[in-house]
Structures are given as structure tokens and as C-alpha cells.
Amino acid sequence: MMLKKVLGTAVAGVLVASLVACGSDSDDAETAAAAPSGQNWRYAHEEFEGDVQDVFAYKFKEYVEENSDHTVQVFRFGELGESDDIMEQTQAGILQFVNQSPGFTGSLIPEAQIFFVPYLLPTDEETVVEFFNTSRAIHEMFPELYAEQGLELLSMYPEGEMVVTADEPVTRPEDFRGKNIRVMTNPLLSETYRAFGATPTPLPWGEVYGGLQTNIIQGQENPIFWIQSGGLYEVSPNLIFTGHGWFTTAMMANQEFYQGLSAEDQQLVQDATAHAYEYIINYVPGLGEDMLEKILESSDEVTVTRLNEEQIQRFRERAPQVEERFIEMTGDRGAELLEQFKADLEAVTGE
């Protein structure tokens, strides 16, 4: 598995060079020569074959190709580099679509880090789905923030509850003391683990497995399906359900490309996105438990710790300092977004 990841990253530069060489000029020439056939749209995401973002991408591709002459070429993790690389390629117009989590977009769009304020989102799957379906913050406020970076936000959706893995079971913040916990390159996520008592250690995904294996880091967080598909339980076998948040991702387009589409093709993109969203919002509930079962079948060394309400409260008491840091980072816009976020949550939880 590790060899596959290394090789995938190694050839990323070659693939990008090939895409640039086949840029817009040649695309235009090919389109003209092959009229009335459609265009080939390039779509990259951050995960492996069969993972949530991959399923979403292929549902999008399926709809586009069944309802137009266009084709969609999907690139998985490592084929075009790391998360930062595919975002840069999308902003440059090399890619037309990208799926990237706020964990990485947070350095570009600080307000997107709101998803890393611990204990803001509930862990109940049905409630989370309703929030994403109805949230004004997501459907009205976030598109404006993404547009400022040349991105057309098409969808935000949840992938699963965040679960921590570590070199030993953890039940209280004091157990994190002295542990290097890998975080995405996201300042607020670092603040979260600092508040939890750990030493946050930003690392790109390609270095996580090896870092756990060599004890450079002693833990990390991800949804269960990613822990399973990435084999992280093999080198970090203690799974801790802290209830502190959900992994969220966003699907977006290069804005110049999107705005240059005909009204018909813009509607096609919107419809394809809605098709993929409707599928994934029903696909994710229950996925975590299915993947946990696979993990437990694969390894006798794995332990599962589900914090009780008293234990969770010890972590929850540290969340306000992360919320305060979020507002410091994002100013009035972040405060307004947080207020709307809480109002949207209240609307679906009644609390």
C-alpha cells in the first residue's frame, strides 16, 4: 500500500506536465476537429478508489456523460500531487473541478476552518445531514467566500465523524500530553489539539503512515472509512471516538471556466452536482460502522474507545478557546458566519 502511494506521488509531476501540454489551445483545436462532440473536463479529489470523494466524483461523471457529449476525467489522490497541488491546478485552470476539504482550504479561505471548531457540529448522522441540506451558512455565505478565490462552490457535504487514532487509548485531555498528533495544514485544527493537550504536527497525507510507523507522530484524526482504506489502524491501532466533529469536504469549479459555460452546461453541472450529492448524503450514514467492522475483522490489535458524556465534557470544556481563536483569525466575517452556523444548527436540533 505504501509503495503504491509513493509511486502515485512520484508520477504526479509527469501527469501535470502532460495536462499543461494538452492545455486550452489543444483542447479548443480537438473540440473543433471533433465537433459536435463535447469537452473533456478534469476533476481531481483527495482520496483513494472507492472512498467518499471518489464515489461522489464518479456519480458526477456518470450524470454528465449520460446527459451530454462531455466527458469527465477523474484523478485520485497522488495522481496529480497532494491537496495543495490540485487546488493550485484548479485555480490555474489546468483542472476544471476539484474536491477539497476545508482542512486544506483553510489557509486559502480562513472562514472555512469553522468546521474544525470542536463540538460545534453534532455527531448524530441524521441531524448532520439535515444541517447540510438546509444551512444558510453553507448555501448562501460560503459561495461568496469561495468566489473571492476564483472558485465556484458547487457543494459541501459530510464524509463521516472524526475519529482519533493513537499509540494508546485516550480518555481525557491529560492522556494527550506529550503526544505529537498529525493535523492537516490548518491553523485552527492545530489550535484544537493544542487545547486538547497534544502537540499538533502538520503533515501532508503522504507522510502520515510512515510518521505513525516510525513514531514521529503518535496519532492522527480522520473518518473511519479513511482510517480503513489508508490502513492507518495497522500502525495506529487505538481508535478513540471523541465526538468532537465531522469531516466535511467541498466540491468546486474554476470560476472562470464555470462562468464561460453556456447556460445549458451550467445547468448540467448543477444537476450533476445535485445527483452526486443526493447519492452521497444517503451513502455516508452507516458507512463508518461498516468500515469499523472491516477494521476489527482485519486486526486483533485494534481497540475502540467511545468516550462517555462525562469524558467528552472534559474535552468540550476546552472548545471555547478554539472558537475564540477562530474569531481572532477571521474577524467580523468569521463572527457573522459562526453566528449563522449556530442559528442553522439550532433550527435542526431545537437546542
Q: Pick from 299, 181, 314: which is nearest to 243 by CA?
A: 314
Find the mean pLDDT for residues 273-277.
Answer: 98
Q: What domains are defined for the chain?
A: 2-349 (3.40.190.170)
Distant-in-sequence, close-in-space partners of 310: CB < 8 Å, separation ≥ 6 = none
Instruction: Give the confidence band of 108 by pLDDT, cuts at 50, 70, 90.
Output: confident
Report CA Rg, the chain. 20
- pLDDT of 290 over the 60 cut: yes
DSSP string for 101-128: -HHHHTTTSGGGGGGGSTTSS-S-HHHH
Q: Do residues 170 and 233 touch, judged by C-beta distance below 8 A?
A: no
Return the number of other C-beta atoms located less than 10 Å from residue 331's C-beta.
Answer: 11
The Cα–Cα gap between 19 and 300 comes to 44
The Cα–Cα gap between 31 and 36 comes to 8
- pLDDT of 101 over the 70 cut: yes
User: What is the DSSP-derived secondary structure letter of residue 234?
Assistant: G
- pLDDT of 48 over the 60 cut: yes
- pLDDT of 35 over the 50 cut: no
3-state SS, one letter per residue, for 155-211: EEEEEEEEEEEECCCCCCHHHHCCCEEEECCCHHHHHHHHHCCCEEEECCHHHHHHH
Which is it for strands 246-254 and 97-100: parallel, antiparallel or unpaired? Answer: antiparallel
Q: What percent of the chain has pLDDT over 90?
A: 82
Q: What is the pTM of this model?
A: 0.88
Distant-in-sequence, close-in-space partners of 242: CB < 8 Å, separation ≥ 6 = 162, 163, 164, 170, 307, 312, 315
Prior bond of 36 cis (ω within 30°): yes
Find the mean pLDDT for residues 325-349.
Answer: 96
**pLDDT at res. 26:** 44
- pLDDT of 256 over the 90 cut: yes
The Cα–Cα gap between 296 and 139 comes to 38
CA distance to 15, 58, 268, 288, per residue, from 8 (Å) = 10, 20, 31, 26
Mean pLDDT, the chain, rounded, equals 90
Q: What are phi and psi of 202, to 5 degrees?
A: -65, 130
**pLDDT at res. 30:** 44
CA distance to 88, 192, 247, per residue, from 224 (Å) = 28, 20, 10
The Cα–Cα gap between 151 and 132 comes to 20
Q: Do residues 252 and 89 touch, judged by C-beta distance below 8 A?
A: no
Which is it for strands 151-166 and 246-254: parallel, antiparallel or unpaired? Answer: antiparallel
